[in-house]
Every structure is written in structure tokens, then in C-alpha cells.
Structure 1
Amino acid sequence: MDVEALKQLGAALAIGFGTIGPGIGIGLIGAKAMEAMGRNPEASGTVQTNMILAIAFAESMGIFALVVALLLKFV
């Protein structure tokens, strides 16, 4: 295998594996937030605010994986 092929493979693996965790995390956050809102509708504003903040933090890990994949691909 040449170096270019290995760079492409590394970039694909980095973005592939790097987004599995945030994807699962966002799904779990959303599911638990919906469960909490269903159990206590009065607190839905607070739950929704905290849910959006947690999703932003989880998504930032996916963005870091994207940056690493782009660095592997183009550098």
C-alpha cells in the first residue's frame, strides 16, 4: 500500500470511529430528556436547556474527529 492510500484509510477510520460515541451520546441524551419531560412537564424548560447544552458538548467531540480526519487527509 502506498502512503496516500493509508492516509485516506486513516481519515475514514478517524471520522467513522470518532462519530460513533457522540452519535450514541446524543441519542441517549435526547431519550433521557424526553423521559424526564414526560415525567415532570413543569421542568421541561430547564431540562431542554440542559439537554441542548449537553448535546453541544457531545457534538464538539464529533467536530474534533472531523478536524483530525481532515488533517490526516490533507496534510
Structure 2
Amino acid sequence: MSATLELAAGLTGNVASIGYGLAAIGPGVGVGIIFGNGTQALARQPEAAGLIRTNQIMGFAFCEALALIGIVMGYAYPSA
């Protein structure tokens, strides 16, 4: 019975790692969209560079916060 519980605990950790890896795709795509559209905006309106960069940095921070929250949840709730 103990071996079954150990196997289940190991499987839960592996599934959580795979789940986080799949969940990290979202922020990765979001960061790509933010910087891609920011580059296009800078090419169209170079005079608004300060505002565009500020918005890019804020969007990047929010996307990365989602990824960091996801990895912390894996450690905070390991049995979930």
C-alpha cells in the first residue's frame, strides 16, 4: 500500500510539472504579442515612443506575474 501512495505522490508532482509547462505557453504568447505590437506601434508613431514603451513594460510585467504565480502555486499546493 505504501508503494502505491509513493507512486501517486510522484505522479502528482510530474503531472503538476507538465501542467505548469503547458500553462507557461499563455504568458509566452502574451509577451510575444505585446512586443510584436509594440514594435509595430513604434514604427508607425515614433513620437509616442515613451508612452508605448511604458505600456509594453506594464503588459510584460502582468504577463510574467501570471507565469510566476503559476510556478508558486505548484509549490504552495503540491498535493492539489
Letter in 2 for 1:10: V
Q: CA RMSD in A?
A: 1.9
TM-score by length of 2: 0.81
Q: Could you tell me the percent identity over the aligned residues?
A: 31
Whether contact under 8 Å (1:15, 1:66) holds in the other structure is yes
Instruction: Name structure 2 gaps, 5 residues minimum.
Output: none
Shift of residue 72 of structure 1? 4.5
Per-residue displacement from partner, 1:15-71 (whole Å, max 9, x unpaired)?
202211000000000000000001110001100001100111111110111012223
> Residues 1-75 of structure 1: matches in 2 within 5 Å?
2-73=7-78
TM-score by length of 1: 0.85
Aligned residues: 75
Whole-Å separation in 1 of the counterparts to 2:23 and 2:68 = 9
Whole-Å separation in 1 of the counterparts to 2:11 and 2:21 = 15
SS of the aligned residue for 1:54 comes to: helix
Structure possessing the higher relative contact order (Cα contacts under 8 Å, 6 or more residues apart): 1
Whole-Å separation in 2 of the counterparts to 1:12 and 1:40 = 42
